[in-house]
Amino acid sequence: MTHLRATDDVLETASLYVLGALPAEERAAFEQHLADGCRTCEREVAALAPVVGELGLAAPTLMPRAAVRERLLARLASPWTVVRAGEGGWERDASGLEVRRLHRDPEGRVTSLVRMPPGTRYPSHRNALTEELYMLAGDLTIEGERLGAGDYCAAATGTMHHETVSEGGCTFVLATFEWNEVVLQPPARSAPEVGLTFVRAAAGGWRPGVVPGVEIRRLYRDRPRGTVTELVRMAAGTRLPGHRHITSEEFYMLSGDARIAGERLDPGDYYRAAAGTSHDVTFTVRGCEFLLISSAVETLA
């Protein structure tokens, strides 16, 4: 259905669309509406789009307090990166994926949160280096394997994924490399893809950690990189000794609280320590669980 005039509903929808504030399903429906040829909505979007670019210039210029500048410079100089659950914006790519980048290494390894709206299909691609995915919610089908919350998948260097699909939508943590090759005409599947590792949430396999109160569940070992990916549980009051990182270390908090390098981490927070750095005791007050990618070998600080 096309609109004959710009009603209040049309103006509101067009405004939210150009601001990027429409929910994913409503945005997809509105884009289809535009593609169907509604000239009224097209005119409103065309008229409003330039205004969005001017909004950032509308606010008065204010000098930040000296303390704010000092905190920013200290954070930029720190070998530790902390991204809070509410920080950072989501970007949408051409395939419909919504991505919130958490960190990018100089060599091009990127750790992100990814959302796939219902019905999203990501094209076939070949992994330049190891790619890892941990499901937080929803469903995702990779090479015929349907993944749900708590499931994990690793794809070794050179592994090709055929089209990846989410029927009901999903959210996951993704560690990958930005130069993966999109394969426009993938070969037909003749056998299960070699190089894929799937670990189901219900598979079990928890073992005691280095100190009482810690349990570890190994998901994957990337021998070329010298890293392991694990789920870690810490009981209330547990303290881990200080240690030095041979490779970089990444946490994604799933539940509870953790204190590390002077920072408190809560569910949805992300933490990264650069290779060669060390930190003091890591501890939890109420207990926690987190996804960890770290060196296969750590040394005491």
Q: Divide the 301 residues of the chain into consecutive groups of 10 and give the mean pLDDT of each group.
A: 79 82 79 84 80 61 67 58 88 86 89 95 86 96 94 91 91 89 67 81 88 93 90 93 85 94 91 85 93 75 42
Residues 6+ away with beta carbon under 8 Å from 291: 134, 173, 229, 230, 231, 251, 252, 254
Measured CA to CA, the distance from residue 251 to residue 269 in angstroms comes to 8
User: Containing H/E element for 271?
Assistant: strand 270-273
Q: Give pLDDT, residue 11.
A: 85
Q: Give pLDDT, residue 168.
A: 96
Tell me, which fold does domain 205-300 have in CATH? Jelly Rolls (2.60.120)
Residue spans per domain, the chain: 8-58, 79-185+194-202, 205-300
Enumerate the H helices of 59-137 as residue ranges.
66-77
- Phi/psi zone of residue 204: left (φ > 0), alpha (ψ -120 to 50 degrees), beta? left
Residues 6+ away with beta carbon under 8 Å from 158: 126, 127, 195
Q: Give pLDDT, residue 299.
A: 45
Alpha-carbon distance values, 251 to 83, 99, 169, 207, 221 (Å): 10, 18, 24, 19, 16
Tell me, which fold does domain 79-185+194-202 have in CATH? Jelly Rolls (2.60.120)
Check: pTM over 0.85? Answer yes or no: no
Tell me, which fold does domain 8-58 have in CATH? Arc Repressor Mutant, subunit A (1.10.10)
Residue with tokens 């994604």: 252
User: How do beta strands 214-222 and 227-234 pair?
Assistant: antiparallel
Q: Give pLDDT, residue 59.
A: 62
Identical fold for domains 8-58 and 79-185+194-202, yes or no, is no
